[in-house]
Amino acid sequence: MNDRPAEATYIRFRNVRKGYRIGGEVIPIFDNLDLDIPQGDFVAVMGPSGSGKSTLLNMLAGVESPDAGEIAIGGARLDLMGESARSAWRAHKMGIVFQFYNLLPMLTAAENVELPLLLKPVSAKERHIRVGKVLDLVGLAGRERQYPGLMSGGQQQRVGIARAIAADPDLLLCDEPTGDLDRKSADDVLAMLRFLNRELGKTIVMVTHDPQAARHARMTLRLDKGQFVEEREAA
């Protein structure tokens, strides 16, 4: 599905197979799944529950490995890496935006954003500068010391986005980033993702159930029963 010239491909799945064992039976999720996404693209993945969206996101994040097949991102073969190598790769190359924000309530906005920078050889002064810049970028300048519990859902998701981009990753994975937000807050978050894609060149893969959210992406791919059954470019 969506086969592109090799030189344009940033995310590449080839003949990916994945299943889960339940009792004595293996339930197949993907059977020879192919996928090509060029660098700098913004792709929405939609599909009914059980279609494989979460498994796809987990394999893109290196949290799960395929049973067979090739997964390459930016030339790095995730399927050939061990767990510790995938964890290190994930810390340096990608950011993840979660549906329910995954912020630590006992930490301030700035402290939550700083977390991924603690895994990099960055001085405390540089961390402080970066945290301030990304919070400003997402429209939260002046709220560095505020705790998540005192923020709206939209503000918490902005903190989540700031945390995801603090280490300047090439790839953003978004797991239902507007699923817990009202329409206005959702549109604000989607506009921010579109800015990160168009102005900063971030490659974004967003799993969503929301057709209005998918319209913000350049391309929508629909999963059903572990296969891509539709590809639609934005108008």
How confident is the model over 173-201, as pLDDT tens digits? 999 999 989 999 999 999 999 999 999 99
Whether the CB-CB separation of 111 and 146 falls below 8 Å is answered with no
Residue 226 — very low, low, confident or very high, per pLDDT cuts 50/70/90? Answer: confident
Does residue 5 surpass a pLDDT of 80? no
For the chain, how many residues are written?
235
How far apart are alpha carbons 33 and 8 in whole angstroms? Answer: 19
Whether the CB-CB separation of 234 and 194 falls below 8 Å is answered with no
In whole numbers, what is the pLDDT of the chain averaged over residues?
Answer: 91
| The residue type at 137 | L
Residue 232 — very low, low, confident or very high, per pLDDT cuts 50/70/90? Answer: confident
Q: Identify the pLDDT of residue 76.
A: 94
Q: Identify the pLDDT of residue 7.
A: 44
For the segment 27-43, what is each residue's pLDDT rounded down to a tens digit?
A: 899 999 999 999 999 99
Percentage of the chain exceeding pLDDT 90: 81
Strands 9-22 and 68-73, sheet pairing: antiparallel
> Domains in the chain, start-ordered, CATH in brackets?
39-62+82-233 (3.40.50.300)
Q: Identify the pLDDT of residue 235.
A: 58
For the segment 201-221, what is each residue's pLDDT rounded down to a tens digit?
A: 999 999 999 999 999 999 999
Strand, coil or helix: what is 4?
A: coil
How far apart are alpha carbons 39 and 195 in whole angstroms? Answer: 15
Tokens found for residue 220: 């929508």
Q: Identify the pLDDT of residue 22.
A: 86
For the segment 52-68, what is each residue's pLDDT rounded down to a tens digit?
A: 999 999 999 999 999 99
Residue 230 — very low, low, confident or very high, per pLDDT cuts 50/70/90? Answer: confident
Residue scoring higher pLDDT (125 or 5): 125
